[in-house]
C-alpha cells in the first residue's frame, strides 16, 4: 500500500510502486480531469502538483508520492473559483479542451512561485505544455489576467 494525500484527502493505494501516478489518479481514484497525452512527459496534459510543484503524472512512479501531497485539477478549487479557472473562461481559452487541465496546473505552479510574471516568464514556464488547437495566445492572456486579478 502506498499512502499519500490527494486534493487534501488521505488515500492508500494498492498498486505496484512503479505504476505511473497518472493511472492511479484516473483508474484507481477515479479523478479523470488529469489527462493522458503522450505518456513520455513531453506534452503536459497529465500535469499535477506534487508538494506544490508541477510534475508530469505519466512519468511519476507511485512510490515517489508516498507521504506527499498531490493536487489535481479537481483539487485546485472546490467551486472553480481559482483565478486561473475564472481567467480561462473570461479569455475563452479552451477549444477542444483536452490539454487545459494540464495547462492550468502548469500555470498555477508559476503563479504560486511568481505572482506577477512577465509575458516572457509566462511563455518560458508554459513551454512544453502542448495545445494541438493552438490557443497559446489565449493561454498567455489568461495567465496574465489571473496574475492581475489575484
Looking at 56, 76, 96, which one is the last position of a domain? 76
pLDDT at 150: 79
Contact indicator for 106, 131 with CB cutoff of 8 Å: no
Grid coordinates representing 28 are 484507481
Domain holding 127: CATH number?
1.10.150.120
Contact indicator for 28, 6 with CB cutoff of 8 Å: no
Q: Which of 129, 148, 34 is nearest to 91 (CA)?
A: 148
**H or E segment at 147?**
helix 136-149
pLDDT at 114: 97
| Residue 12 predicted with pLDDT over 90 | yes
Share of the chain above pLDDT 90, in %: 95
d(CA 139, CA 132): 13
Looking at 48, 76, 104, which one is the last position of a domain? 76
pLDDT in tens, 85-104: 999 999 999 999 899 999 99
Instruction: Give pTM, 2 decimals.
Output: 0.95
Domain count across the chain = 2
Residue 135 lies in domain: 83-149
pLDDT at 90: 96
Helices (H) and strands (E) in the chain, counts: 6, 5
Amino acid at each position: 500500500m502506498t499512502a499519500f494525500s490527494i486534493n487534501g484527502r488521505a488515500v492508500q493505494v494498492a498498486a505496484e510502486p512503479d505504476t505511473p501516478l497518472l493511472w492511479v489518479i484516473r483508474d484507481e481514484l477515479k479523478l479523470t480531469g488529469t489527462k493522458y497525452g503522450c505518456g513520455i512527459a513531453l506534452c503536459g496534459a497529465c500535469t499535477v502538483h506534487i508538494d506544490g510543484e508541477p510534475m508530469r503524472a505519466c512519468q511519476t512512479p507511485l512510490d515517489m508520492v508516498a507521504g506527499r501531497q498531490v493536487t489535481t485539477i479537481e483539487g485546485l478549487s472546490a467551486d472553480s473559483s481559482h483565478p486561473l479557472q475564472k481567467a480561462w473562461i473570461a479569455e475563452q481559452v479552451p477549444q477542444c479542451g483536452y490539454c487545459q487541465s494540464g495547462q492550468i496546473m502548469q500555470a498555477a505552479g508559476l503563479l504560486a512561485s511568481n505572482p506577477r510574471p512577465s509575458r516572457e516568464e509566462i511563455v518560458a514556464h508554459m513551454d512544453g505544455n502542448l495545445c494541438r488547437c493552438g490557443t497559446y495566445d489565449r493561454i498567455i492572456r489568461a495567465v496574465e489576467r489571473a496574475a492581475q486579478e489575484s
